[in-house]
Structure 1
C-alpha cells in the first residue's frame, strides 16, 4: 500500500516501477495531469486518482490485469473518464 494523498505531486517518479508488490496506490489530491506508462506495469488492484488534473485515462490501464477498483472522481476528464476495461 502506498498512500501519496494530497502531496502536490506533479509527476510520478520512474522508481515506482521497482515496487513490484504494490497492489494499492492512492495518488489523489495531487497535481497530476498524466499517468506514466510504467505505472501500468505494477500489480495494482486498487488505483485512486481522484482530484488531479487528469484529462484522460491512458489505454495502457488495460495492462492492469488484477485491477478491481479505479477511483477517478473530480478530475478534469470530460464525459466518461473511467476506463471501461477494468476487470470485474
Structure 2
C-alpha cells in the first residue's frame, strides 16, 4: 500500500455505473474518508482522504480508480522543481 503522508498524490474516483453498494471501501478505509450517500452509494470525503488506495484495492467490481491529484493545476513535481530553482 502506498505511503499515506500529508501530501495527497492520488484521489479515489468512483464509477457509480459499476458500484454495487457493498461498502467494502468504507470498511477498509483507514481514515474513515468513505461515507455513504442517502441512496446507498459511497463517496469519498476529500478533506479526510489521504489517497492510500485501500478502497480501490478491496473493491470487488473495481469501480474505484485512483487518479492523480492535480492540486489546482500544479503537480507536485512542478512544485519540487520550483523549490530546486529557488
Q: TM-score range by the shorter chain?
A: under 0.3
Higher Rg: 2
- Which structure carries more strand by proportion? 2
TM-score (norm 2): 0.24
- Which structure carries more helix by proportion? 2
